[in-house]
Structures are given as structure tokens and as C-alpha cells.
Structure 1
Amino acid sequence: MQVFYATQFVLPLPPGHRFPMGKYQLLRDRLAAELPAIRLMQALPASDGELALVHKPSYVQGITDGTVDPAILREIGFPWSAAMAERARRSVGATISACRAAFSEGIAANIAGGTHHASADRGGGFCVFNDAAVAACLMQAEQARLGRRLRVAIVDLDVHQGNGTARIFRGDDSVFTLSIHGQKNFPFRKEPSDLDVDLPDGCTDDEYLHALEGALAELERRFDPGLVIYLAGADPHEGDRLGRLKLTWDGLEARDRRVFDWAWQRGLPLAFAMAGGYGRRMEDTVQAQVNTFGVAVSYWQRWQNRRR
């Protein structure tokens, strides 16, 4: 299974910064050691033209050369650096490559990504460019050149609402945005997705899985996708500092299994990104992500058997 990374680009964050940058390298190391079916691939950077499918050229230029409005940098939560700009491009490039690989192999992934708070002209909440949105639009453009109309479902199960993605695709009937998130969590001003499911603080496994089942049924009733982009946030876990939900290890794994199975049963290629994870122990976030990859590999193997 192809998995794309950009862990060589590390943001120079100040001491005490709450973003857990080290989780990406820890995850890559564990995948290399524990899941031999995974083929780790270095992500290529998204080009200006690819980013401009979603983002305003002036914003792309501002991130590239550091002239972006300081107020936007404060919203993003990262200081500008050349490494920050390059990593943001490669995080988008990783999801683009994962989508392309999913069309040929069924499932592929980005170790990072899921930057769903970024909208057309600004970032926010540790998100610079919106990787899922750019990848969705580029896949549609590439399929259109082959004479095919592609409809994309973005299934966002990060604990924070995908406000940037919702804003980008508002009124676009070719992309369905589904967000299942904490009702009282960030962002405090939500943007309407095609389907939003608000969960109360303290939501448990059974409540969550019931909500997910209903949401997938509603998605299927209203939309017929040809590609699924899945944001597999680790932050609904009960050990997350910012999550406020109470999913156990088993609950998170059941969530992932339900999404992969839903796509598998319908023959839908699926690309996934890891989105948020802010465990009180970084190792817990990485464990949740390793578990997601373990489920993904089992479904990727089913795809390979189907093709024989």
C-alpha cells in the first residue's frame, strides 16, 4: 500500500508550542517497522497551478515568500519559514499522490494532511493549504480530461469541524462534505457542510458509531461518489488533549473499519489522511494512527485479491 510522507520537513517551532510535530516521524518509523505491506514514498510538492484550483494565487504567493498577512499566520498558529511553506506544499502533494494511487490500488494514504481549516484565501488551526480540497479538484480535472465526471465524497472524522472544506465547496454539487465533530469544539463558528453531525462532549463509542452509521447512510442516499477522501483524525480518542470525546481504542478502530468497509463494499477508491491528534501522550496519538493503518492494509489486501 502506497503511503506518502514529508517528514524530512520539520517546522522550527518555538519551545512549548502545542503542535506535536514529532508525531509524523514516530508514525513513519512505526509503519516501516511493523507493517511490511506499506511502501513509504516521499511526497512531491503541489505546484502553484494545483494549489490555485482552490486557493487564491495571492495567498499561495504570500505563503511561498513569507509576505502573508501576519494576522493569517496567527490564525494558522505557525511562524513562517521556508520549511513551513515547503511542508505545506508537500502535504497537499501527498494527498494528491494518494488519490492517484487509490484509483489504481484501491487504498492509499498521506501520513499527514487533513488540513481542513484552510479556505481559499487563508489558513487556520494549524492548516496552511487544504489538501483534501486541492486533491478533490485536481482528480476531477484529471478525470475530466478522460471524459469522465468525478464526484468526490470527503468524509471528515477529525474531532474539529471541517470549516475550510465546507466553505470551499459550498454550492458545489460535485463534492459532498461530511463532518462528524464535537459540537462545542473548535472552530467555534462552523461553516455548513453538506452534512454536519454535532456530537456532545463525552460522546462514547456506541453513540459515535451510531452517528457514523446514520451519516454514511444519509451520504449514500443523497450522493453517488466515485472517490472517497477520508480524514481519519485520532483526536476523538479519550486521551486527546483537545478532543473532548471519549472514544476508546476499540471505538476508533471500529470507526475506521466501518469507513473502509463502506467504501470497499461499493468498490470506491479511498485515499486517507491522518488529520488531527493531540494526545496527552504523543505515543497514544501515534498508536491510534498505526491502528488506522493496520485496518487500511487489510482492506488494501482485499483490493489486490479482487484484482487477481
Structure 2
Amino acid sequence: MTRAGPPLGVPRYKDPPARADARAPRRPRRPGVTPPIVYHPAYQASLPEGHRFPMGKYGQLAARLTERGLVPAGFVTPEPASAALLGLVHDPAYVAAVLAAAVPRAIEREIGLPVDAGVARRARASAGGTLAAARLALAQGLAGSAAGGSHHARRAQGAGFCIFNDVAVAARALQREGAIGRALVVDCDVHQGDGTADCLVCAPDLFTLSIHAEKNYPVRKIAGDLDIGLADGLGDAAYLAVLAGRLPPLLDALAPDLVFYNAGVDPHRDDTLGRLALTDAGLAARDRFVIAAVRARGIPLVAVIGGGYGSDAAAIAARHALVFEAMAAEAGP
């Protein structure tokens, strides 16, 4: 399911639609408050031995966050998303098929995961976790979920290890209840956020920015609001220059009520499904920049972890922890 749109790097709109009520800052910083982190045991499901998706990273990430003192009050446990909540974004027939563990084999192959009861529970927990973290971010300025970022899940089906589009579900739910009017999705996963673009195509106040490797998956991209395709092998300095040139003016033009930050670590040079060449230091600098730019404008930010692939789950978990460390540093002592 592809939708005609502009080439990569060209926004869907000539200029981002500015808010008439734009103002900053709207929410003060809350120094000394450790940003809450949402986690559910169902985030880690069982997969067949040798499966290439690094499911073990979720438990290892939770352990690392605990060891580093980033959850002094413990994790926040979310309510799994209901079928009605998921239906705000996804075809109800697809939602029902997932919850019944009856996804057609052709779609299951596109997803790349066996959609059994455990994987379905994980998908519900992840969507509920992103919504819970978003609510916490609106209340406290910063929050994150130790999962989420399933940005290849489209309205009609999942794909690319993604079953339900948690960010799109959370954004639509918050908008529907009046908690937000406008949101910005900052997607720094190495793969273009085609599913999020598809899910939010009819929601002009839910704006998508995707910064990704141009030649990477998906081959057939669904145009988002602003897609920035990067050349293979791009390193830290060039990547950060692109981010610094595009994000601040977009924040100023949109003045969103909330930023969803997909802090995927697959732009790392050692990632098995990435094509960029960021280092650990580059990922950390990226996370610090995004968080600081958003919070300097008084805008709440919720982080999800996105992709990160390879055989060393501990190393991947350590990279995923960087965004939570950056949020804690931004909150300050």
C-alpha cells in the first residue's frame, strides 16, 4: 500500500503549517525529577531459537536501566492497549486477527514474527506503554517507554517486525480526548517510518519527520510529511549536522504540544540491519540534541526505543539505554 508523494527529503507541505498560537516556553523544566520509564514484562515475548529479531534486548534494557539507577521509583507498568484503542488507527479486522493469533500467513511473513498469543500480548503492551509514557510526558515534561517505535505497522497490517503502530495509536488517542492538538513524530530509526506515515496520512496536525538511510528498508516507501534520506555510510558529524539543520526550525514552525521521539539505535555502524555509521558517542549526541532542542522550547517529549539489531543483545540494550540516560541528564540533579 503506497501513496503517491514527494521525493525523499521533500516535505509533503511546502512549508510546515505554523500554529497561530505558537509560543514558548509552555511548560517549565522540572530539574531533579527523574523521568519516568514505562516497562511491561510482556515487552519480551518468546521466539523460536535462532530468530534474527533480538527479543532478549528488552529484558536486558530493563536490567541496565535498573542497574544505572534510572528507575529509582521502579518502572511504571502500563495497561495493554484494547482492541478499541488499536482500532483508532488500524483496521478492526486486522486487530481482531492479531488478538486471535489468526493473522494470515502472507501478512505474518511480512511482519517477520510468529504472531502467536505471546507476540500479540507484546504488541498490545507496547502500544499501551507508549500511550502511558506519553501521558506521563505531558504531565512531567519527559518520559519514555522501554519498547515501542513500531513504525512499519500500517493501517491494514503489520510489517518489518512491527504489529501495531504504537506511536500513531498514542497520538490519535491523545488528540481524540483533547490532551493534545498537534504532535510531531521525530523518527531517527535507520528505516523510514512508512507505517506511521500511512497511519497518520489523514491527520494533518500529527506531523512526521523521518531521518533514515535512503537505500534501506522499506524499498517502497510511503511518503511522510518530511522524509530525509541519508547516504550509506554517513557518520556522526554529517548526521548531526543534518539533524541540527532541520529539527529546530521545524519545532519553531509547528510548536507541537508533544514530541514522540523514536530513538532507534540501528543507525549504529555495527547494526546488522543499518547502513549508516554512527558510533555510540554519535547516538548519545543525537539523543542529547533532540531532547535539549525540544525541552528548550517547553515542549514535552516521550521517547520510544525503535530498532536495534545484531547478535549481541547486551550491546544493543546499552545503546537503547542512551536515550534514557540523556533524559535523566536533561532533567538534571
Do the aligned residues in 1 keep the contact of 2:145 with 2:303 (CA within 8 Å)?
yes
Higher-RCO chain (CA-CA 8 Å, sequence separation at least 6): 2
Partner-residue secondary structure (3-state), 2:178:
helix
Who is 2:118 aligned against?
Answer: 83
Query: Following the alignment from structure 1 to structure 2, what is the Cα–Cα distance between the partners of residues 201 and 237?
Result: 12
TM-score by length of 2: 0.86
Q: Which amino acid aligns with 1:293?
A: F
Q: Which amino acid aligns with 1:264?
A: R
Unaligned runs of 5+ in 1: 303-308
Alignment: residue pair count: 298
What are the superposed Cα offsets for residues 238-262 of structure 1, whole Å, 9 maximum, x if unpaired? 1111111111111111100110001
2:48 paired with 1:14: yes
2:233 paired with 1:202: yes
1:1-308 aligned within 5 A: 1-8=35-42, 10-38=44-72, 39-143=74-178, 150-220=181-251, 222-301=253-332
Query: Following the alignment from structure 1 to structure 2, what is the Cα–Cα distance between the partners of residues 262 and 268?
Result: 9
Report the Cα offset of residue 81 of structure 1. 1.2
Partner-residue secondary structure (3-state), 1:143:
coil
Whichever structure has more helix as a proportion of its residues is 1
Report the Cα offset of residue 8 of structure 1. 3.8
Do the aligned residues in 2 keep the contact of 1:184 with 1:201 (CA within 8 Å)?
yes
Report the Cα offset of residue 171 of structure 1. 4.2
Identity rate, percent:
45
Who is 2:27 aligned against?
Answer: none
Report the Cα offset of residue 301 of structure 1. 4.0
Do the aligned residues in 2 keep the contact of 1:228 with 1:271 (CA within 8 Å)?
yes
Query: Following the alignment from structure 2 to structure 1, what is the Cα–Cα distance between the partners of residues 310 and 62?
Result: 17
TM-score by length of 1: 0.93
Query: Following the alignment from structure 1 to structure 2, what is the Cα–Cα distance between the partners of residues 215 and 69?
Result: 40
Query: Following the alignment from structure 1 to structure 2, what is the Cα–Cα distance between the partners of residues 102 and 9?
Result: 20
Report the Cα offset of residue 143 of structure 1. 1.8
What are the superposed Cα offsets for residues 189-222 of structure 1, whole Å, 9 maximum, x if unpaired? 1111111111111001111001111220342354
Q: Which moved more, 1:250-259 or 1:280-289?
A: 280-289
Report the Cα offset of residue 279 of structure 1. 3.4
Q: Which moved more, 1:177-186 or 1:134-143?
A: 134-143
Cα root mean square deviation, aligned: 1.5
Q: Which amino acid aligns with 1:250?
A: A
What are the superposed Cα offsets for residues 276-295 of structure 1, whole Å, 9 maximum, x if unpaired? 00135322211111222111
Q: Which amino acid aligns with 2:254?
A: F
Query: Following the alignment from structure 2 to structure 1, what is the Cα–Cα distance between the partners of residues 121 and 279?
Result: 35
